[in-house]
Amino acid sequence: MFDLIFRSMTQRKMRTGLTIFGIALGIFAVVVMGGMSEHMNLVVDKSLKLLANNIQVEPDGTFGGIGTLDDSKIRQVKRVPGVSDAYGVLVTSLDPESAGGGFTGGDMVFGVLPERQMKDALLTSGRYLMPGDGYKAVVGSSIARKYNLKVGDELEMKSKRLQRTSSITNTRNVSVVGILEYTGSMFDSSVQIPLDRAQKFYKMENIVSFIYAEYTPGSDPSEIARRIDLSVDKVKSKSPEQLRKEIEGNLMIFGLITISAAVLAAIIGGLSVMNTMLMSVSERTKEFGLLKALGAERKNILFMTMGEAAIMGVVGGISGIVAGGIVTHLLNKSFEAQGSALFAITPRLVVIGLLFAISLGVICGTYPAYRATKMSPMEALRYE
Amino acid sequence: MNNNGNIGENGNIESVPILRIRNLKKTYMQGKIPVPALDGVSFDVNKGELLSIVGPSGSGKSTLLSMIGLLDRPTDGSVFIDDVEITKSKENEAPRIRREKIGFVFQHFNLLSTLTAMENVDIAMRFTGTSKNRRKERALELLTMVGLGDRVKHKPSELSGGQQQRVAIARALANSPAIILADEPTGAVDTKTREVIVDLLKGLSEKGQTIIVVTHDMDVARQTDRIIMMRDGAIASDTGVTGNEEKGF
């Protein structure tokens, strides 16, 4: 039967080609958009894992951005019952002239207490920061690649401050003492330097961006977060759970927007399959009538028409996935120079793309196929 | 009873009727007005008979053919093929009956233009579960029999009208059907080709193949064993037959 399907498809090469192209384009959109969304998911997921299980305290009223907190708040947080320890982190942009920051883009400087350094991200070479380190830095894998850094190399930091009408840019070299392995998280684009040096260099003495509060084992982190909010002025605390939920919520919206655009494109591809199949079926009225007169059963005719639609779906789907894979790979390669990737083509995404293409083909082929089986052999054959 | 397929003489009273039609009626609805197309038709056809059905347009001959071929259902009455009442079959049994009992030949040949002569014959056997090799063998055998052994790889567009119709006849024979139904088989070919087709049908009939031909062409009809003349949905005359009426009722 497949030979008949292929013959029907190759007989109308142009139309078959256009239909397959339509599906491929739709699936291409699904793969590219989905790949973007998947990449975000992966980064956030890994970042959250590395962020350990601390309560994050940020200034009240900052929405997603990075605010400032006075050092004194750390002491206040520490006094809250259930909090075993608290420390500040200062987050700034490595290059203030380039936009970015946050979880997904931009290279960031983390001013951290050496003794409070996160050690979940392992080193590929060198060492972590130590108490007493001066302008020393542990850099993420993307930073190391982007600036071609080895242990012992120097990295230039910039700070920019607006003063009246002019801006003053300071630069300063730090020497790299350690390079982190690739984690797929925001730490890949991070430069960690001792907190005191960061505060000094950025002229932000006694200021931190976030406070991380450790809680005593066995206590409820969301309860403690609430307590911190009540006892410390003008801060907003988030338990690891809340943080995860909030970020996942933001991601979901982003995912929804990208995915629905992609699905729309794919549905248009599906409609083109339907259109092609309807045309093909009405053109082949006689053929189906004849096959019925020759004793073809409904299932034979369904198989021929649905098969054609499904094959167009599969071929279109695979082409779309391959094209999407190539394009995202190339884009990632070109972004890699800047140390960051944008797309992640996960196996899950490939499977979804393929299933979507096939079901589009089959669903949109169903009605035309049904029409084909309804052909009366009499009607089909009587008149030329 | 005599079940020898090679008798062929029309009117042989001892032959087994391969097709029995009893009081067949078909009424079409034109809006709300019933239009009778067949009004109580009964006759028998014996194995190996070459029978023509003639009559003016609208006399019901094509309707009759589609009832026998199970392409359409009668309003009333029965059709028996090999003593099986096919008009009582279920809708999902119809394809099997068409495959096994009926071979169609059409005025416009209705070959699939993308397939070769061989494949056009082959396709009739695809739905029967015959193995690929067996189908090929059979298709070649039939095409050789209709004189197209050297044309098996040709597409319909590369064949003359007569050749195309011979491919169609080979296709109709593919599943060894009880009856071949030919709807104006010479309607689209010239007179010379017409004789080739009629001779072919006659030859098949002599070998025991039952064939019913619907035609306008009295020159064709005269060459058949028996002529049924239809008028206004009923049989006006039935030549060369004795005793069908008595036997049937």
- Residue pairs between chains A and B whose CB atoms are closer than 8 Å: 55
Q: Which two tokens stand for residue A287?
A: 């053929």
pLDDT above 60: residue B234: yes
Low-confidence ranges of chain A (pLDDT < 70): 50-52, 62-66, 97-105, 162-164, 336-341, 379-384
Predicted complex: ipTM over 0.90: no
Is A11 an 8 Å CB contact of chain B?
yes
Is B114–A11 a contact, with Cβ atoms under 8 angstroms apart? yes
Is A8 an 8 Å CB contact of chain B?
yes
Tens digits of per-residue pLDDT, A240-270? 888 888 878 878 888 888 878 888 887 887 8
Give A356→chain B minimum CA distance, Å: 32
Give B112→chain A minimum CA distance, Å: 7
Give B210→chain A minimum CA distance, Å: 17
**Are the CB atoms for A15 and A274 separated by under 8 Å?**
no
The upper half-sphere exposure of residue B73, i.e. CA atoms within 13 Å in the direction of its Cβ, equals 7
- Sheet (strand B234-238) strand order: B102-105, B179-183, B210-214, B50-54, B226-231, B234-238
Give the pLDDT confidence score for residue A213 in this predicted structure.
87
**Are the CB atoms for A140 and A340 separated by under 8 Å?**
no
Q: In whole angstroms, what separates CA A342 from the centre of its chain? A: 7
Residue B7 to residue B14: CA distance in whole angstroms: 10
Give the pLDDT confidence score for residue A52 in this predicted structure.
57
Task: Indicate the residue of A300, A377, A381 with minimum beta-carbon distance to B127.
Answer: A300
Helix (H, G, I), strand (E, B) or coil at A169: strand
pLDDT, mean of residues B232-247: 68
Give A365→chain B minimum CA distance, Å: 22
Give the pLDDT confidence score for residue A104 in this predicted structure.
46
Residue A145 to residue A128: CA distance in whole angstroms: 18
pLDDT band at B248 (very low <50, low <70, confident <90, very high): very low
Give the pLDDT confidence score for residue B3 in this predicted structure.
45
Per-residue exposure over A62-82, b if at least 16 CB sit within 10 Å of its own CB, e if not: eeeebbebeeebbebbeebeb
Is A379 an 8 Å CB contact of chain B?
no
Helix (H, G, I), strand (E, B) or coil at B3: coil
Give the pLDDT confidence score for residue B144 in this predicted structure.
92
Task: Indicate the residue of A8, A286, A297 with minimum beta-carbon distance to B110.
Answer: A286
- What does DSSP say about strands A190-194 and A136-139: parallel, antiparallel, or unpaired? antiparallel
Contacts of A299 in chain B (CB under 8 A): none
**Are the CB atoms for A82 and A215 separated by under 8 Å?**
yes
Give the pLDDT confidence score for residue A100 in this predicted structure.
47
Tens digits of per-residue pLDDT, B201-218? 999 999 999 999 999 888
Is A376 an 8 Å CB contact of chain B?
yes
A170 DSSP β-pair partners: A159
Give B13→chain A minimum CA distance, Å: 32
Give B247→chain A minimum CA distance, Å: 31
Give the pLDDT confidence score for residue B75 in this predicted structure.
92
Q: Which two tokens stand for residue A290?
A: 């004849």
Give B203→chain A minimum CA distance, Å: 23
Give the pLDDT confidence score for residue A59 in this predicted structure.
84
Give the pLDDT confidence score for residue A337 in this predicted structure.
60
Helix (H, G, I), strand (E, B) or coil at A318: helix
* Type of residue at A310: A
Is A12 an 8 Å CB contact of chain B?
no
Is B95–A291 a contact, with Cβ atoms under 8 angstroms apart? no
SS3 content of chain B, % helix, strand, coil (to 5): 35, 25, 40
Cα distances (Å, whole numbers) of residue A276 to A7, A35, A213: 15, 29, 62
Give B216→chain A minimum CA distance, Å: 15
pLDDT above 60: residue B147: yes
Contacts of A286 in chain B (CB under 8 A): 110
Is A13 an 8 Å CB contact of chain B?
no
- Sheet (strand B17-30) strand order: B33-46, B17-30, B76-81, B84-85
Tell me the residues of chain A between 288 and 347 that have a Cβ less than 8 Å away from chain B.
290-298, 300
Selected for mutation to probe chain B from A280, A294, A297, A303 (highest B CB count within 10 Å) is A294
**Are the CB atoms for B114 and B101 separated by under 8 Å?**
no
Tens digits of per-residue pLDDT, B177-188? 999 999 888 888
pLDDT above 60: residue B246: no
Interface residues from chain B to A (CB-CB < 8 Å)? 62, 66, 69, 71-72, 92, 95-96, 98-100, 104, 106-108, 110, 112, 114-115, 123-124, 126-128, 171, 175
Is A290–B71 a contact, with Cβ atoms under 8 angstroms apart? no
Residue A183 to residue B77: CA distance in whole angstroms: 81
Cα distances (Å, whole numbers) of residue B24 to B27, B60, B67, B77: 10, 11, 9, 4
Helix (H, G, I), strand (E, B) or coil at A228: helix
Give the pLDDT confidence score for residue B202 in this predicted structure.
92
Contacts of A291 in chain B (CB under 8 A): 123
Task: Indicate the residue of B123, B127, B175 with minimum beta-carbon distance to A297.
Answer: B127
Give the pLDDT confidence score for residue A275 in this predicted structure.
84
Tens digits of per-residue pLDDT, A103-121? 445 788 888 888 877 777 7
Among A121, A65, A67, residue whose Cα is nearest residue A90: A67
Contacts of A7 in chain B (CB under 8 A): 114-115
Residue reference for tokens 């491929």: A24
Q: In whole angstroms, what separates CA A295 from the centre of its chain? A: 54
- For B107, name the nearest residue in chain A, comparing CA atoms only: A382
Helix (H, G, I), strand (E, B) or coil at A344: coil
Give the pLDDT confidence score for residue B108 in this predicted structure.
86
**Are the CB atoms for B9 and B240 separated by under 8 Å?**
no
Give the pLDDT confidence score for residue A342 in this predicted structure.
76
pLDDT above 50: residue B66: yes
Q: Report the run of H or E that residue B84 belongs to, with start and end.
A: strand B84-85
Residue B224 to residue B58: CA distance in whole angstroms: 22
Give A307→chain B minimum CA distance, Å: 16
CA angle, residues A129, A132, A133, in degrees to nearest 5: 45
Q: Which residues contact B109 (CB under 8 A, 6 or more apart)?
A: B156, B161, B164, B165, B167, B168, B188
Tens digits of per-residue pLDDT, B93-105? 888 898 889 999 9
* Type of residue at A167: S
pLDDT above 90: residue B80: yes
Task: Indicate the residue of B99, B110, B114 with minimum beta-carbon distance to A7.
Answer: B114
The percentage of residues in chain B with a pLDDT greater than 70, rounded to a whole number, is 90
Give the pLDDT confidence score for residue B57 in this predicted structure.
85
Task: Indicate the residue of B71, B127, B128 with minimum beta-carbon distance to A378.
Answer: B71
Is A6 an 8 Å CB contact of chain B?
no
Is A377 an 8 Å CB contact of chain B?
yes
Q: In whole angstroms, what separates CA A24 from the centre of its chain? A: 22
DSSP letter for A315, please: H
Contacts of B175 in chain A (CB under 8 A): 295
- For A297, name the nearest residue in chain B, comparing CA atoms only: B95
**Are the CB atoms for A365 and A305 separated by under 8 Å?**
yes
A371 DSSP β-pair partners: none
Among A108, A104, A64, A110, residue whose Cα is nearest residue A87: A110
Task: Indicate the residue of B72, B114, B124 with minimum beta-carbon distance to A294.
Answer: B124
- For A5, name the nearest residue in chain B, comparing CA atoms only: B114
Give A383→chain B minimum CA distance, Å: 9
Return the HEC string of chain A. Answer: CHHHHHHHHHHCHHHHHHHHHHHHHHHHHHHHHHHHHHHHHHHHHHHHHHCCCCEEEEECCCCCCCCCEECHHHHHHHHCCCEEEEEEEEEEECCCCCCCECCCECCEEEEECHHHCCCCCCEEEECCCCCCCCCEEEECHHHHHHCCCCCCCEEEEEEEEEECCEEEEEEEEEEEEEEECCCCCHHHHEEEEEHHHHHHHCCCCCEECEEEEEECCCCCHHHHHHHHHHHCCCEEEECHHHHHHHHHHHHHHHHHHHHHHHHHHHHHHHHHHHHHHHHHHHHCHHHHHHHHHCCCCHHHHHHHHHHHHHHHHHHHHHHHHHHHHHHHHHHHHHHHCCCCCCCCCCHHHHHHHHHHHHHHHHHHHHHHHHHHHCCCHHHHHHCC
Is A297–B100 a contact, with Cβ atoms under 8 angstroms apart? no
Tell me the residues of chain A between 209 and 228 that have a Cβ less than 8 Å away from chain B.
none
Among A214, A198, A173, residue whose Cα is nearest residue A110: A198
